[in-house]
Amino acid sequence: MTIRSKEPLNMAALANEFYNVEGVSEVDLGVPDVSGNDIQVHRMQGGWEVDYILRFGSHLNGQGSAHIWKYKVTDEGVISFHSETGEPVPSWMRCYFEPDGFLEARL
């Protein structure tokens, strides 16, 4: 049986409840063995650095690529774009929506 959530949900806690059902002997959360897209947050003086990492290609054989966007978020809630690095995003993964004022925002 496969169970998916429409909204963010603590799937680990839910999966753990299935052990209470008679006849259930194993629960697999489906956590991948390879890295996927990621958001990393690092504390810096006066705020946070937020990295959004988009991975693509074959990470199973070590031939994968990544593209990284870095943002700074101050303790006052000001968000600013810092840098963009990595391999070019493949055309089939690109979003062509570019709203005005997206790079500078306030929480």
Q: Domain extents for the chain?
A: 32-87
4: pLDDT strictly greater than 80:
no
Residue 45: the pLDDT is: 95
> Any bridge partners for residue 51, and if so which?
40, 70
35: pLDDT strictly greater than 70:
no
> Any bridge partners for residue 2, and if so which?
none
pLDDT, one tens digit per residue, over 8-31 is 677 778 778 888 888 888 887 665
CA 6 centroid distance within chain: 17
> Structure pTM?
0.56
Name the burial class of residue 47, with classes exposed (0-12), middle (13-18) and buried (19+) by CB atoms within 10 angstroms of its CB: middle
Rounded Cα distance, 47 and 39, in Å: 16
Q: Are 41 and 16 in contact (CB under 8 A)?
A: no
Kindly report the average pLDDT of the chain as a whole number: 79
CB-based contacts of 9: which residues, under 8 Å, 6+ apart? none
Residue 57: the pLDDT is: 76
70: pLDDT strictly greater than 90:
yes
